Structure 1
Protein backbone atom coordinates (compact mmCIF):
# COMPACT_ATOMS: atom_id res chain seq x y z
CA UNK A 1 0.00 0.00 0.00
CA UNK A 2 2.86 2.37 0.84
CA UNK A 3 4.57 1.51 -2.45
CA UNK A 4 1.40 2.29 -4.41
CA UNK A 5 1.00 5.68 -2.71
CA UNK A 6 4.63 6.54 -3.33
CA UNK A 7 4.31 5.59 -7.01
CA UNK A 8 1.18 7.75 -7.34
CA UNK A 9 3.01 10.71 -5.74
CA UNK A 10 5.97 10.27 -8.07
CA UNK A 11 3.73 10.15 -11.15
CA UNK A 12 1.90 13.30 -10.03
CA UNK A 13 5.18 15.14 -9.53
CA UNK A 14 6.38 14.07 -12.97
CA UNK A 15 3.14 15.26 -14.62
CA UNK A 16 3.38 18.64 -12.91
CA UNK A 17 6.98 19.10 -13.95
CA UNK A 18 6.25 18.17 -17.57
CA UNK A 19 2.86 19.88 -17.86
CA UNK A 20 3.91 21.57 -21.07
CA UNK A 21 4.95 18.30 -22.74
CA UNK A 22 2.39 16.33 -24.72
CA UNK A 23 3.05 13.40 -26.99
CA UNK A 24 0.52 13.18 -29.80
CA UNK A 25 -0.37 9.99 -31.60
CA UNK A 26 0.87 10.17 -35.22
CA UNK A 27 -2.56 8.97 -36.32
CA UNK A 28 -4.00 12.31 -35.14
CA UNK A 29 -1.81 13.98 -37.74
CA UNK A 30 -2.81 11.52 -40.46
CA UNK A 31 -6.54 11.22 -39.71
CA UNK A 32 -7.43 14.61 -38.19
CA UNK A 33 -4.92 17.36 -39.04
CA UNK A 34 -4.40 16.54 -42.72
CA UNK A 35 -8.06 15.76 -43.50
CA UNK A 36 -9.30 19.05 -41.99
CA UNK A 37 -6.72 21.05 -43.93
CA UNK A 38 -7.33 19.19 -47.19
CA UNK A 39 -11.11 19.44 -46.92
CA UNK A 40 -10.98 23.19 -46.31
CA UNK A 41 -8.69 23.73 -49.31
CA UNK A 42 -10.91 21.64 -51.60
CA UNK A 43 -14.08 23.33 -50.33
CA UNK A 44 -12.56 26.75 -51.01
CA UNK A 45 -11.67 25.77 -54.58
CA UNK A 46 -15.13 24.26 -55.11
CA UNK A 47 -16.74 27.41 -53.69
CA UNK A 48 -14.81 29.53 -56.18
CA UNK A 49 -16.12 27.60 -59.19
CA UNK A 50 -19.67 27.42 -57.84
CA UNK A 51 -19.72 31.21 -57.44
CA UNK A 52 -18.47 31.56 -61.02
CA UNK A 53 -21.30 29.31 -62.25
CA UNK A 54 -23.90 31.29 -60.31
CA UNK A 55 -22.77 34.64 -61.65
CA UNK A 56 -25.05 35.90 -64.39
CA UNK A 57 -23.74 37.67 -67.45
CA UNK A 58 -24.03 41.46 -67.19
CA UNK A 59 -26.81 42.88 -69.29
CA UNK A 60 -25.70 44.76 -72.36
CA UNK A 61 -26.38 48.47 -72.43
CA UNK A 62 -28.47 49.98 -75.14
CA UNK A 63 -26.89 52.17 -77.80
CA UNK A 64 -28.41 55.29 -76.24
CA UNK A 65 -27.05 54.42 -72.78
CA UNK A 66 -23.55 53.80 -74.15
CA UNK A 67 -23.71 57.09 -76.07
CA UNK A 68 -24.74 58.88 -72.89
CA UNK A 69 -21.79 57.52 -70.92
CA UNK A 70 -19.25 58.07 -73.69
CA UNK A 71 -20.27 61.71 -74.11
CA UNK A 72 -19.58 62.36 -70.44
CA UNK A 73 -16.27 60.49 -70.61
CA UNK A 74 -15.18 62.46 -73.70
CA UNK A 75 -15.89 65.72 -71.94
CA UNK A 76 -13.95 64.62 -68.86
CA UNK A 77 -10.93 63.65 -70.97
CA UNK A 78 -11.02 66.96 -72.81
CA UNK A 79 -11.22 68.83 -69.53
CA UNK A 80 -8.50 66.78 -67.80
CA UNK A 81 -5.96 67.56 -70.56
CA UNK A 82 -6.86 71.22 -70.96
CA UNK A 83 -3.78 72.53 -69.13
CA UNK A 84 -1.46 70.76 -71.59
CA UNK A 85 -3.80 69.83 -74.39
CA UNK A 86 -2.69 68.13 -77.63
CA UNK A 87 -5.79 69.53 -79.37
CA UNK A 88 -5.19 72.77 -81.32
CA UNK A 89 -7.08 75.84 -80.07
CA UNK A 90 -9.58 75.96 -82.94
CA UNK A 91 -10.61 72.34 -82.52
CA UNK A 92 -10.60 72.56 -78.72
CA UNK A 93 -12.96 75.52 -78.70
CA UNK A 94 -15.19 73.85 -81.28
CA UNK A 95 -15.43 70.56 -79.37
CA UNK A 96 -15.92 72.32 -76.03
CA UNK A 97 -18.68 74.53 -77.44
CA UNK A 98 -20.40 71.56 -79.09
CA UNK A 99 -20.38 69.50 -75.90
CA UNK A 100 -21.59 72.42 -73.78
CA UNK A 101 -24.52 73.07 -76.12
CA UNK A 102 -25.37 69.36 -76.26
CA UNK A 103 -25.27 69.04 -72.47
CA UNK A 104 -27.49 72.06 -72.07
CA UNK A 105 -30.03 70.76 -74.59
CA UNK A 106 -29.92 67.17 -73.33
CA UNK A 107 -28.99 65.77 -76.72
CA UNK A 108 -27.01 62.87 -75.29
CA UNK A 109 -29.63 61.75 -72.75
CA UNK A 110 -30.73 58.20 -73.49
CA UNK A 111 -34.39 59.14 -72.98
CA UNK A 112 -34.07 62.26 -75.11
CA UNK A 113 -34.15 65.92 -74.09
CA UNK A 114 -36.19 66.78 -71.02
CA UNK A 115 -39.52 68.35 -71.91
CA UNK A 116 -40.29 71.76 -70.51
CA UNK A 117 -42.55 71.65 -67.46
CA UNK A 118 -42.02 67.91 -66.94
CA UNK A 119 -41.42 66.74 -63.39
CA UNK A 120 -37.89 65.47 -62.71
CA UNK A 121 -37.68 61.72 -62.90
CA UNK A 122 -37.06 59.98 -59.58
CA UNK A 123 -34.65 57.04 -59.33
CA UNK A 124 -36.36 53.64 -59.53
CA UNK A 125 -37.22 51.75 -56.37
CA UNK A 126 -34.61 49.00 -55.81
CA UNK A 127 -37.35 46.64 -54.62
CA UNK A 128 -39.29 46.94 -57.87
CA UNK A 129 -36.34 47.47 -60.20
CA UNK A 130 -35.54 44.16 -61.98
CA UNK A 131 -31.83 44.99 -62.25
CA UNK A 132 -31.59 45.69 -58.50
CA UNK A 133 -33.52 42.51 -57.68
CA UNK A 134 -31.13 40.49 -59.82
CA UNK A 135 -28.23 41.98 -57.87
CA UNK A 136 -29.86 41.13 -54.54
CA UNK A 137 -30.53 37.56 -55.63
CA UNK A 138 -26.93 37.18 -56.80
CA UNK A 139 -25.72 38.47 -53.43
CA UNK A 140 -27.96 36.05 -51.53
CA UNK A 141 -26.77 33.12 -53.66
CA UNK A 142 -23.16 34.06 -52.93
CA UNK A 143 -23.96 34.25 -49.22
CA UNK A 144 -25.46 30.77 -49.27
CA UNK A 145 -22.47 29.35 -51.15
CA UNK A 146 -20.18 30.87 -48.51
CA UNK A 147 -22.19 29.95 -45.41
CA UNK A 148 -23.50 26.43 -46.06
CA UNK A 149 -20.10 24.70 -46.62
CA UNK A 150 -18.60 26.38 -43.55
CA UNK A 151 -21.53 25.31 -41.36
CA UNK A 152 -21.21 21.73 -42.63
CA UNK A 153 -17.45 21.65 -42.01
CA UNK A 154 -17.83 23.09 -38.51
CA UNK A 155 -20.50 20.52 -37.65
CA UNK A 156 -18.32 17.75 -39.06
CA UNK A 157 -15.35 18.84 -36.91
CA UNK A 158 -17.47 19.22 -33.77
CA UNK A 159 -19.04 15.80 -34.23
CA UNK A 160 -15.98 13.72 -35.10
CA UNK A 161 -12.96 15.65 -33.77
CA UNK A 162 -14.22 17.61 -30.77
CA UNK A 163 -11.57 17.98 -28.07
CA UNK A 164 -8.63 16.88 -30.24
CA UNK A 165 -5.24 18.55 -29.85
CA UNK A 166 -3.68 18.65 -33.30
CA UNK A 167 -0.49 20.65 -33.48
CA UNK A 168 1.94 22.75 -31.48
CA UNK A 169 3.02 26.09 -32.90
CA UNK A 170 6.82 26.52 -33.07
CA UNK A 171 6.90 30.05 -31.62
CA UNK A 172 5.98 31.41 -28.17
CA UNK A 173 2.67 33.18 -27.56
CA UNK A 174 1.06 35.09 -24.73
CA UNK A 175 -1.89 33.83 -22.69
CA UNK A 176 -4.20 36.13 -24.64
CA UNK A 177 -4.11 33.63 -27.53
CA UNK A 178 -5.25 30.71 -25.37
CA UNK A 179 -8.98 31.22 -25.95
CA UNK A 180 -8.38 31.56 -29.69
CA UNK A 181 -6.09 28.56 -30.15
CA UNK A 182 -7.71 26.10 -27.73
CA UNK A 183 -11.43 26.36 -28.40
CA UNK A 184 -13.31 23.35 -27.12
CA UNK A 185 -10.56 22.42 -24.62
CA UNK A 186 -10.95 23.88 -21.13
CA UNK A 187 -7.50 23.32 -19.62
CA UNK A 188 -5.95 26.22 -17.67
CA UNK A 189 -2.46 24.68 -17.48
CA UNK A 190 -1.92 23.62 -21.12
CA UNK A 191 0.73 25.46 -23.10
CA UNK A 192 -0.73 28.22 -25.26
CA UNK A 193 1.00 26.92 -28.37
CA UNK A 194 -1.15 23.81 -28.59
CA UNK A 195 -3.98 24.14 -31.13
CA UNK A 196 -7.33 22.35 -30.89
CA UNK A 197 -9.29 20.97 -33.83
CA UNK A 198 -11.90 23.74 -33.82
CA UNK A 199 -9.22 26.44 -33.58
CA UNK A 200 -7.34 24.80 -36.43
CA UNK A 201 -10.49 25.16 -38.51
CA UNK A 202 -10.62 28.90 -37.81
CA UNK A 203 -6.90 29.34 -38.51
CA UNK A 204 -7.37 27.70 -41.89
CA UNK A 205 -10.53 29.68 -42.55
CA UNK A 206 -8.74 33.00 -42.09
CA UNK A 207 -5.28 31.97 -43.30
CA UNK A 208 -5.76 30.16 -46.61
CA UNK A 209 -6.25 33.31 -48.69
CA UNK A 210 -2.62 33.34 -49.78
CA UNK A 211 -2.86 29.74 -51.01
CA UNK A 212 -6.07 30.53 -52.88
CA UNK A 213 -4.33 33.44 -54.62
CA UNK A 214 -1.59 31.08 -55.79
CA UNK A 215 -3.99 28.37 -56.97
CA UNK A 216 -6.83 30.49 -58.35
CA UNK A 217 -5.34 33.92 -58.98
CA UNK A 218 -5.74 37.22 -57.22
CA UNK A 219 -9.39 37.83 -58.10
CA UNK A 220 -11.11 34.67 -56.85
CA UNK A 221 -14.28 33.89 -54.93
CA UNK A 222 -12.56 31.63 -52.40
CA UNK A 223 -10.52 34.26 -50.58
CA UNK A 224 -11.99 36.74 -48.11
CA UNK A 225 -14.93 34.41 -47.47
CA UNK A 226 -15.09 35.65 -43.88
CA UNK A 227 -15.82 39.20 -45.00
CA UNK A 228 -18.46 37.99 -47.44
CA UNK A 229 -20.13 35.88 -44.76
CA UNK A 230 -20.21 38.73 -42.24
CA UNK A 231 -21.62 41.17 -44.80
CA UNK A 232 -25.32 41.47 -45.45
CA UNK A 233 -26.53 40.06 -48.78
CA UNK A 234 -28.41 43.32 -49.41
CA UNK A 235 -25.22 45.29 -48.77
CA UNK A 236 -23.39 43.03 -51.22
CA UNK A 237 -26.11 43.56 -53.77
CA UNK A 238 -25.97 47.32 -53.25
CA UNK A 239 -22.22 47.32 -53.74
CA UNK A 240 -22.48 45.26 -56.91
CA UNK A 241 -25.39 47.27 -58.34
CA UNK A 242 -24.74 51.00 -57.92
CA UNK A 243 -27.71 53.30 -57.94
CA UNK A 244 -28.78 54.94 -61.20
CA UNK A 245 -27.06 58.21 -62.04
CA UNK A 246 -28.93 61.34 -63.02
CA UNK A 247 -27.10 62.17 -66.23
CA UNK A 248 -29.12 65.33 -66.70
CA UNK A 249 -27.53 66.80 -63.56
CA UNK A 250 -24.15 65.37 -64.49
CA UNK A 251 -24.31 67.02 -67.90
CA UNK A 252 -25.23 70.39 -66.39
CA UNK A 253 -22.32 70.13 -63.95
CA UNK A 254 -19.96 69.03 -66.72
CA UNK A 255 -20.96 72.05 -68.79
CA UNK A 256 -19.81 74.35 -65.96
CA UNK A 257 -16.58 72.38 -65.64
CA UNK A 258 -15.90 72.78 -69.35
CA UNK A 259 -16.37 76.52 -69.09
CA UNK A 260 -13.92 76.63 -66.19
CA UNK A 261 -11.32 74.48 -67.98
CA UNK A 262 -11.43 76.74 -71.03
CA UNK A 263 -9.70 79.41 -68.95
CA UNK A 264 -6.90 76.96 -68.14
CA UNK A 265 -6.42 75.79 -71.72
CA UNK A 266 -2.88 75.72 -73.10
CA UNK A 267 -1.87 74.04 -76.33
CA UNK A 268 1.12 71.75 -76.20
CA UNK A 269 2.22 73.04 -79.61
CA UNK A 270 2.68 76.66 -78.52
CA UNK A 271 6.21 77.87 -79.34
CA UNK A 272 7.23 74.35 -80.30
CA UNK A 273 9.74 75.68 -82.85
CA UNK A 274 11.58 77.75 -80.27
CA UNK A 275 11.59 74.90 -77.78
CA UNK A 276 13.07 72.46 -80.29
CA UNK A 277 15.78 74.93 -81.35
CA UNK A 278 16.55 75.74 -77.72
CA UNK A 279 16.82 72.03 -76.90
CA UNK A 280 19.48 71.43 -79.55
CA UNK A 281 21.34 74.67 -78.86
CA UNK A 282 20.37 76.40 -82.07
CA UNK A 283 18.74 79.35 -80.37
Structure 2
Protein backbone atom coordinates (compact mmCIF):
# COMPACT_ATOMS: atom_id res chain seq x y z
CA UNK A 1 0.00 0.00 0.00
CA UNK A 2 1.53 3.32 -1.11
CA UNK A 3 1.51 6.32 1.24
CA UNK A 4 -1.18 8.96 0.80
CA UNK A 5 1.37 11.58 -0.25
CA UNK A 6 2.62 9.38 -3.11
CA UNK A 7 -0.96 8.70 -4.23
CA UNK A 8 -1.73 12.41 -4.22
CA UNK A 9 1.41 13.13 -6.22
CA UNK A 10 0.56 10.60 -8.91
CA UNK A 11 -3.06 11.82 -8.99
CA UNK A 12 -1.81 15.32 -9.61
CA UNK A 13 0.37 14.15 -12.50
CA UNK A 14 -2.44 12.07 -13.97
CA UNK A 15 -5.04 14.84 -13.92
CA UNK A 16 -2.57 17.47 -15.12
CA UNK A 17 -3.30 19.92 -12.26
CA UNK A 18 -0.70 22.61 -11.75
CA UNK A 19 -2.24 24.35 -8.79
CA UNK A 20 -4.99 24.26 -6.19
CA UNK A 21 -8.46 23.12 -7.17
CA UNK A 22 -11.16 25.79 -7.16
CA UNK A 23 -14.81 25.53 -6.24
CA UNK A 24 -16.81 27.86 -8.45
CA UNK A 25 -20.07 29.47 -7.48
CA UNK A 26 -22.88 28.10 -9.75
CA UNK A 27 -24.26 31.63 -10.05
CA UNK A 28 -21.22 32.62 -12.11
CA UNK A 29 -22.68 30.73 -15.05
CA UNK A 30 -25.98 32.58 -14.75
CA UNK A 31 -24.62 36.05 -14.07
CA UNK A 32 -21.33 36.06 -16.00
CA UNK A 33 -20.76 33.20 -18.48
CA UNK A 34 -24.20 33.15 -20.10
CA UNK A 35 -24.63 36.97 -20.26
CA UNK A 36 -21.25 37.42 -21.95
CA UNK A 37 -22.07 34.73 -24.51
CA UNK A 38 -25.55 36.13 -25.21
CA UNK A 39 -24.23 39.69 -25.58
CA UNK A 40 -21.53 38.50 -27.98
CA UNK A 41 -24.12 36.75 -30.17
CA UNK A 42 -26.51 39.73 -30.13
CA UNK A 43 -23.71 42.15 -30.98
CA UNK A 44 -22.66 39.93 -33.88
CA UNK A 45 -26.25 39.91 -35.15
CA UNK A 46 -26.43 43.70 -34.82
CA UNK A 47 -23.13 44.17 -36.67
CA UNK A 48 -24.33 41.98 -39.51
CA UNK A 49 -27.57 43.94 -39.82
CA UNK A 50 -25.69 47.25 -39.79
CA UNK A 51 -23.28 46.00 -42.45
CA UNK A 52 -26.22 45.03 -44.66
CA UNK A 53 -27.74 48.50 -44.23
CA UNK A 54 -24.59 50.55 -44.83
CA UNK A 55 -22.99 48.39 -47.52
CA UNK A 56 -23.36 49.73 -51.07
CA UNK A 57 -25.91 48.12 -53.28
CA UNK A 58 -24.54 45.46 -55.55
CA UNK A 59 -24.38 46.60 -59.16
CA UNK A 60 -25.44 44.39 -62.00
CA UNK A 61 -22.66 43.26 -64.31
CA UNK A 62 -23.33 43.36 -68.07
CA UNK A 63 -23.43 40.04 -69.81
CA UNK A 64 -20.42 40.80 -72.02
CA UNK A 65 -18.34 41.79 -68.98
CA UNK A 66 -19.38 38.66 -67.10
CA UNK A 67 -18.44 36.52 -70.12
CA UNK A 68 -15.03 38.20 -70.23
CA UNK A 69 -14.41 37.52 -66.52
CA UNK A 70 -15.54 33.90 -66.80
CA UNK A 71 -13.28 33.16 -69.78
CA UNK A 72 -10.27 34.54 -67.91
CA UNK A 73 -11.20 32.40 -64.90
CA UNK A 74 -11.75 29.40 -67.20
CA UNK A 75 -8.24 29.68 -68.62
CA UNK A 76 -6.71 29.81 -65.15
CA UNK A 77 -8.85 26.89 -63.97
CA UNK A 78 -7.74 24.82 -66.98
CA UNK A 79 -4.07 25.22 -66.11
CA UNK A 80 -4.71 24.68 -62.41
CA UNK A 81 -6.70 21.46 -62.87
CA UNK A 82 -5.13 20.10 -66.04
CA UNK A 83 -3.88 16.96 -64.33
CA UNK A 84 -7.47 15.75 -63.94
CA UNK A 85 -8.05 15.79 -67.70
CA UNK A 86 -6.91 13.31 -70.27
CA UNK A 87 -4.46 14.37 -72.97
CA UNK A 88 -7.16 14.53 -75.67
CA UNK A 89 -9.53 16.59 -73.52
CA UNK A 90 -6.79 19.01 -72.52
CA UNK A 91 -5.55 19.55 -76.07
CA UNK A 92 -9.08 20.24 -77.28
CA UNK A 93 -9.60 22.90 -74.60
CA UNK A 94 -6.06 24.23 -75.02
CA UNK A 95 -6.48 24.92 -78.73
CA UNK A 96 -9.89 26.52 -78.28
CA UNK A 97 -8.98 28.82 -75.38
CA UNK A 98 -5.62 29.81 -76.86
CA UNK A 99 -7.31 30.94 -80.10
CA UNK A 100 -10.24 32.68 -78.38
CA UNK A 101 -8.08 34.56 -75.88
CA UNK A 102 -5.47 35.56 -78.45
CA UNK A 103 -8.13 36.98 -80.78
CA UNK A 104 -9.91 38.81 -77.92
CA UNK A 105 -13.25 37.43 -79.07
CA UNK A 106 -14.99 37.93 -75.73
CA UNK A 107 -13.54 41.31 -74.75
CA UNK A 108 -16.21 43.52 -73.22
CA UNK A 109 -14.49 46.86 -73.92
CA UNK A 110 -12.99 47.86 -77.21
CA UNK A 111 -9.24 48.55 -77.30
CA UNK A 112 -9.74 52.23 -78.15
CA UNK A 113 -11.77 52.73 -75.00
CA UNK A 114 -9.19 50.83 -72.97
CA UNK A 115 -6.44 53.14 -74.19
CA UNK A 116 -8.51 56.19 -73.32
CA UNK A 117 -9.34 55.15 -69.77
CA UNK A 118 -5.93 53.69 -68.94
CA UNK A 119 -4.50 57.08 -67.91
CA UNK A 120 -7.36 58.06 -65.61
CA UNK A 121 -6.94 58.18 -61.86
CA UNK A 122 -8.25 54.92 -60.37
CA UNK A 123 -9.25 56.62 -57.08
CA UNK A 124 -11.82 58.75 -58.91
CA UNK A 125 -13.81 55.80 -60.23
CA UNK A 126 -17.16 54.99 -58.56
CA UNK A 127 -16.24 51.33 -58.09
CA UNK A 128 -13.04 52.13 -56.20
CA UNK A 129 -14.81 54.76 -54.07
CA UNK A 130 -17.58 52.35 -53.09
CA UNK A 131 -15.06 49.64 -52.21
CA UNK A 132 -13.00 51.97 -50.01
CA UNK A 133 -16.12 53.37 -48.31
CA UNK A 134 -17.43 49.87 -47.60
CA UNK A 135 -14.06 48.84 -46.15
CA UNK A 136 -13.93 51.90 -43.87
CA UNK A 137 -17.50 51.35 -42.63
CA UNK A 138 -16.76 47.68 -41.99
CA UNK A 139 -13.71 48.51 -39.89
CA UNK A 140 -15.70 51.13 -37.94
CA UNK A 141 -18.59 48.75 -37.29
CA UNK A 142 -16.16 46.10 -36.01
CA UNK A 143 -14.02 48.44 -33.89
CA UNK A 144 -16.71 50.29 -31.91
CA UNK A 145 -18.68 47.24 -30.60
CA UNK A 146 -15.49 45.40 -29.66
CA UNK A 147 -14.24 48.39 -27.68
CA UNK A 148 -17.56 48.79 -25.85
CA UNK A 149 -17.89 45.08 -25.01
CA UNK A 150 -14.29 44.86 -23.82
CA UNK A 151 -14.89 47.81 -21.48
CA UNK A 152 -18.15 46.22 -20.25
CA UNK A 153 -16.53 42.84 -19.54
CA UNK A 154 -13.47 44.43 -17.94
CA UNK A 155 -15.57 46.73 -15.75
CA UNK A 156 -18.23 44.28 -14.48
CA UNK A 157 -16.53 40.88 -14.70
CA UNK A 158 -12.82 41.59 -14.17
CA UNK A 159 -11.05 38.89 -12.13
CA UNK A 160 -13.82 36.28 -12.48
CA UNK A 161 -12.91 32.65 -13.17
CA UNK A 162 -15.85 31.22 -15.11
CA UNK A 163 -15.09 27.66 -16.17
CA UNK A 164 -12.52 24.90 -16.45
CA UNK A 165 -11.62 23.22 -19.71
CA UNK A 166 -11.98 19.41 -19.72
CA UNK A 167 -8.65 18.74 -21.47
CA UNK A 168 -5.04 19.41 -20.39
CA UNK A 169 -3.02 22.33 -21.76
CA UNK A 170 0.56 23.48 -21.60
CA UNK A 171 1.75 26.47 -19.59
CA UNK A 172 1.96 28.57 -22.78
CA UNK A 173 -1.83 28.92 -22.80
CA UNK A 174 -1.90 30.48 -19.33
CA UNK A 175 -1.54 34.08 -20.54
CA UNK A 176 -4.26 33.61 -23.14
CA UNK A 177 -6.81 31.82 -20.92
CA UNK A 178 -6.28 33.69 -17.65
CA UNK A 179 -6.23 37.32 -18.66
CA UNK A 180 -7.03 39.73 -15.77
CA UNK A 181 -6.42 36.91 -13.23
CA UNK A 182 -3.05 37.49 -11.53
CA UNK A 183 -2.44 34.05 -10.04
CA UNK A 184 0.77 32.22 -10.85
CA UNK A 185 -0.09 28.81 -9.38
CA UNK A 186 -3.56 28.44 -10.94
CA UNK A 187 -4.20 25.52 -13.29
CA UNK A 188 -3.92 26.46 -16.94
CA UNK A 189 -7.34 25.01 -17.74
CA UNK A 190 -9.21 27.66 -15.78
CA UNK A 191 -10.67 30.39 -18.01
CA UNK A 192 -11.24 33.97 -16.89
CA UNK A 193 -14.04 36.28 -18.04
CA UNK A 194 -11.84 38.44 -20.26
CA UNK A 195 -10.30 35.37 -21.88
CA UNK A 196 -13.76 33.93 -22.50
CA UNK A 197 -14.66 37.14 -24.33
CA UNK A 198 -11.50 36.92 -26.47
CA UNK A 199 -12.13 33.25 -27.28
CA UNK A 200 -15.76 33.97 -28.16
CA UNK A 201 -14.70 36.59 -30.71
CA UNK A 202 -13.34 33.83 -32.94
CA UNK A 203 -15.32 30.88 -31.65
CA UNK A 204 -18.72 32.36 -32.54
CA UNK A 205 -17.88 32.67 -36.23
CA UNK A 206 -19.54 29.28 -37.08
CA UNK A 207 -22.67 30.47 -35.26
CA UNK A 208 -22.80 33.60 -37.42
CA UNK A 209 -22.24 31.46 -40.52
CA UNK A 210 -25.25 29.31 -39.59
CA UNK A 211 -27.44 32.35 -38.88
CA UNK A 212 -26.47 34.44 -41.91
CA UNK A 213 -24.71 32.09 -44.31
CA UNK A 214 -21.44 33.90 -43.63
CA UNK A 215 -19.19 31.83 -45.91
CA UNK A 216 -21.45 32.26 -48.92
CA UNK A 217 -22.01 35.95 -48.18
CA UNK A 218 -18.30 36.68 -47.79
CA UNK A 219 -17.49 34.92 -51.06
CA UNK A 220 -20.13 36.97 -52.85
CA UNK A 221 -18.77 40.20 -51.36
CA UNK A 222 -15.22 39.32 -52.42
CA UNK A 223 -16.40 38.50 -55.94
CA UNK A 224 -18.30 41.78 -56.15
CA UNK A 225 -15.27 43.76 -55.00
CA UNK A 226 -13.05 41.98 -57.53
CA UNK A 227 -15.50 42.80 -60.30
CA UNK A 228 -15.59 46.45 -59.23
CA UNK A 229 -11.81 46.64 -59.20
CA UNK A 230 -11.56 44.95 -62.60
CA UNK A 231 -14.01 47.48 -64.03
CA UNK A 232 -12.34 50.52 -62.49
CA UNK A 233 -9.82 52.57 -64.48
CA UNK A 234 -6.23 51.73 -63.77
CA UNK A 235 -7.07 48.11 -62.97
CA UNK A 236 -5.75 45.08 -64.83
CA UNK A 237 -6.33 45.30 -68.57
CA UNK A 238 -8.46 42.35 -69.75
CA UNK A 239 -6.88 42.46 -73.22
CA UNK A 240 -3.38 42.06 -71.80
CA UNK A 241 -4.60 39.36 -69.40
CA UNK A 242 -6.11 37.35 -72.25
CA UNK A 243 -2.97 37.61 -74.37
CA UNK A 244 -0.79 36.53 -71.45
CA UNK A 245 -3.09 33.60 -70.67
CA UNK A 246 -3.12 32.59 -74.34
CA UNK A 247 0.67 32.41 -74.32
CA UNK A 248 0.72 30.51 -71.03
CA UNK A 249 -1.80 27.95 -72.25
CA UNK A 250 0.09 27.47 -75.51
CA UNK A 251 3.41 26.61 -73.78
CA UNK A 252 1.81 24.81 -70.83
CA UNK A 253 3.25 21.35 -70.16
CA UNK A 254 0.37 18.96 -69.52
CA UNK A 255 0.83 15.94 -67.25
CA UNK A 256 -2.30 13.86 -66.69
CA UNK A 257 -2.97 11.31 -63.97
CA UNK A 258 -5.25 9.50 -66.42
CA UNK A 259 -2.56 8.62 -68.97
CA UNK A 260 -2.24 4.84 -69.37
CA UNK A 261 -4.58 4.35 -66.42
CA UNK A 262 -5.95 1.10 -67.90
CA UNK A 263 -2.50 -0.48 -68.04
CA UNK A 264 -1.66 0.70 -64.52
CA UNK A 265 -4.90 -0.69 -63.07
CA UNK A 266 -4.43 -4.03 -64.79
CA UNK A 267 -0.83 -4.22 -63.61
CA UNK A 268 -1.85 -3.39 -60.05
CA UNK A 269 -4.59 -6.04 -59.78
CA UNK A 270 -3.23 -8.71 -62.11
Q: TM-score range by the shorter chain?
A: 0.5 to 0.7
2:162 alignment partner, SS class: strand
Aligned length: 221
Q: Is the 8 A contact 1:48 1:220 kept in 2?
A: no
CA–CA distance in 2 between the matches of 1:255 and 1:65? 19
2:215 alignment partner, SS class: coil
State the partner residue of 1:166: 162
Work out which of the residue numbers 142, 145, 158 in structure 1 matches 2:141: 145
| Residues 1:60 and 2:60 aligned together | yes
CA–CA distance in 1 between the matches of 2:25 and 2:183? 19
Q: Deviations over 1:112-155 (max 9, x none)?
A: 3549xx97753643322221111010011111122211111101
Query: How do residues 74-223 of structure 1 correspond to structure 2 at under 5 angstroms?
Result: 84=88, 103=104, 109-114=107-112, 122=118, 124-219=120-215
Q: Is the 8 A contact 1:100 1:258 kept in 2?
A: no
TM-score (norm 2): 0.62
- Note the residue ranges of structure 1 that are not aligned, 5 or more in a row: 1-17, 223-236, 265-283
Q: Deviations over 1:192-244 (max 9, x none)?
A: 2211110111111121223333333352679xxxxxxxxxxxxxx98685343
**Which structure: larger Rg?**
1
- Note the residue ranges of structure 2 that are not aligned, 5 or more in a row: 1-17, 219-223, 255-270
CA–CA distance in 1 between the matches of 2:170 and 2:62? 60
TM-score (norm 1): 0.60
CA–CA distance in 1 between the matches of 2:179 and 2:240? 56
CA–CA distance in 2 between the matches of 1:61 and 1:240? 8
RMSD after superposition: 4.3
The structure with more helix, counted as a fraction of residues? 2
